[in-house]
Amino acid sequence: MSEIFIDCRVEPDSYRHWQLDVEGSVATLKMDVDPDGGLRDDYQLKTNSYDLGVDIELYDIVQRLRFEHPEVKAVVVTGGLDKIFCAGANIQMLAGSTHAHKVNFCKFTNETRNSIEDASAHSGQTYIAAVNGTAAGGGYELALACEEILLVDDRASAVSLPEVPLLAVLPGTGGLTRVVDKRHVRKDRADEFATRTEGIKGKQAVEWRLVDDVASATRFDELVATRAAHYVAASDRPDDAAGVELTPIDRTIDGDTIGYEYVTVTIDRDTGSASIVIRSPHGVQPETGAALADAGAAAWMIAAARQFDDAMLHLRFNEAEVGTWLLRTEGDADAVLAAEVVLADDHWLARETRLYWTRVLKRLDLSARSLFALIEPGSCFAGVLAEVSLAADRSYMLAGTWHDDEHDGALPAATFRLSAANQSWFPMSNGLSRLASRFWGCDDDLAVAESVVGKSLLADEAADAGLITAALDDLDWEDEIPVMIEERASFSPDALTGMEANHRFVGPETMETKIFARLTAWQNWIFQRPNAVGPDGALRRFGTGSRPNFDKHRV
């Protein structure tokens, strides 16, 4: 279990750190962090610094803006304190956290920043950072996730990334990457910026491309309103559509079983594994965006995504020693394919739901866990759920049916079925489909796989198409699957995390893959170095008046 229990389910009436005000097509999101609202009681969240709890609320708000407020076309993110936008991640929180918590915190925060960028790029809901004061470290990284950054020019407010000189770590949520890859800051300027603790302000920040525009305090609100109006005019989101309320996620925890309507997680602590079962829809599902809006969050396409997302976050934060996820499905493949038809509709909610599944599946890709898909009789790996298998590090499929007293051959042989969804609907962080990533550099093999789209494949056929790792009969299954799980548990988790991340992200490097592969790997390493977290390290000495004592060896 983790150092503290983390629950990622929050509701608007429980927010402690953010204020959301919606006026017509523009939403204003103010960060006003409650200093006493931290997840632990050994630090205070002063000067709009944040911990994981602050970011859990932000993630929830970003989701609700996309689903519950179709009328919102521009989102202005600003600070709720005088002359402070955000001071970044709380240093005392980081200093007192376990290594695993620090890394999980950074990863989740990265994913939330990416969801903000995704809204600006694909949802017609553009985020603008109205930096009304100091934006340091993670505060500037929050601004960097927005499409446009506007800075008040009051001779005091600056943007900065002071982690290297002050804390001996790196900006944890993509700052270094976004400065050069997204904002196109020259590398010499980026180098100076990342080592200048006081940051850069005013017109120099514009000249260096660190912000888009500045205005005096008396003109700042006018500048923000003008830029928001620009994005409102360019958006294709509807003016008068009703949003879909994201109702509370119903979850039960009974010992080692976590239950939802469509997802069940069962933990086996002896093998350090979790069986995650996603079930097919029951009842008729909406086929059009309008019908999806009528069904709301109860529709399978929305409900299953939310429950799967919450299950993964629960395991990430609270079950760090459960290193292997066994991905299973149960139910009717035809029902899954019928439900996903709605995602092809040209409707704002259909688009949002498709984009949500894209983010949830990316969360699966980016989880530092061994992923094994087990395709058995009674499973429904088809379309969007076939995507879950394609995300796995290995996939095993039972050939034929069970021949034992427990199963009694009651279920027909398992099948695996691709749909159009697997070809382009859910791109990975590298910009490719999981199918294209699986066959990267092997165009003939990809063509074979694409030729069977729409066909229900038995185990041997799926193996011939390269869509599974192995087809096993029931005797081999009973012998090999437990051995495989036990073998995985015997390996170093650190080595597995590095190995899996290297294998999963082939082909083009994007800003996302840099942030998660390069930055996360380096941050993971640096967070363990004595220069940062040792008794004389920068995180421990910060704020004490004593300088850190660095080991000067370069490694």
Q: Which segments of 117-195 are extended strands (E)?
A: 126-131, 134-136, 148-152, 158-160
* All structural domains of the chain: 12-234 (3.90.226.10), 252-504 (3.90.226.10)
Per-residue confidence (pLDDT) for residue 176, from 0 to 100: 94
On the question of pLDDT at 35 being above 90, the answer is: yes
Region 118-142: mean pLDDT is 97
Q: At 325, phi and psi to the nearest 5? A: -105, 120
The confidence band for 407, taking pLDDT boundaries of 50, 70 and 90, is: low
Overall residue count recorded for the chain in this entry: 555
* C-alpha to C-alpha distance for 207 and 222, rounded to whole angstroms: 21
**CA dist list (Å): 396 to 23, 418, 517:** 52, 16, 27
Among residues of the chain, what percentage have pLDDT more than 70? 98
At how many degrees (to 10) do helices 52-68 and 348-366 cross? 150
Region 469-478: mean pLDDT is 96
* C-alpha to C-alpha distance for 102 and 94, rounded to whole angstroms: 6
Per-residue confidence (pLDDT) for residue 2, from 0 to 100: 43
Region 45-55: mean pLDDT is 97
* Residues tagged active-site: 89, 138, 141, 163
For the ranges 139-153, 344-358, 506-520, the lowest mean pLDDT is seen at 506-520
Burial class from Cβ neighbours inside 10 Å (0-12, 13-18, 19+) for residue 552 reads exposed
Region 165-177: mean pLDDT is 91
The confidence band for 1, taking pLDDT boundaries of 50, 70 and 90, is: very low
Based on its alpha-carbon atoms, the radius of gyration of the chain, rounded to whole angstroms, reads: 24
On the question of pLDDT at 476 being above 50, the answer is: yes
CB atoms within 10 A of CB 98: 12
On the question of pLDDT at 18 being above 80, the answer is: yes
* C-alpha to C-alpha distance for 191 and 157, rounded to whole angstroms: 20
Region 256-271: mean pLDDT is 98
On the question of pLDDT at 104 being above 80, the answer is: yes
**CA dist list (Å): 231 to 115, 152, 176, 297, 417:** 18, 20, 26, 28, 41
The structure tokens listed for 298 are 């109860």
The position carrying tokens 């439900």 is 339
The confidence band for 172, taking pLDDT boundaries of 50, 70 and 90, is: confident
Region 423-441: mean pLDDT is 97
pLDDT tens string 348-401: 999 999 999 999 999 999 999 999 999 999 999 999 999 999 999 999 999 999
On the question of pLDDT at 508 being above 50, the answer is: yes
Average pLDDT, the chain: 95
On the question of pLDDT at 114 being above 60, the answer is: yes
The confidence band for 336, taking pLDDT boundaries of 50, 70 and 90, is: very high
The one-letter amino acid at 403: H
pLDDT tens string 287-297: 999 999 999 99
The confidence band for 408, taking pLDDT boundaries of 50, 70 and 90, is: low
DSSP annotation string for 310-327: HHHHHHHHH-TT--EEEE
pLDDT tens string 84-101: 999 999 999 998 999 889
The confidence band for 405, taking pLDDT boundaries of 50, 70 and 90, is: low
The β-bridge partners of 69 are none
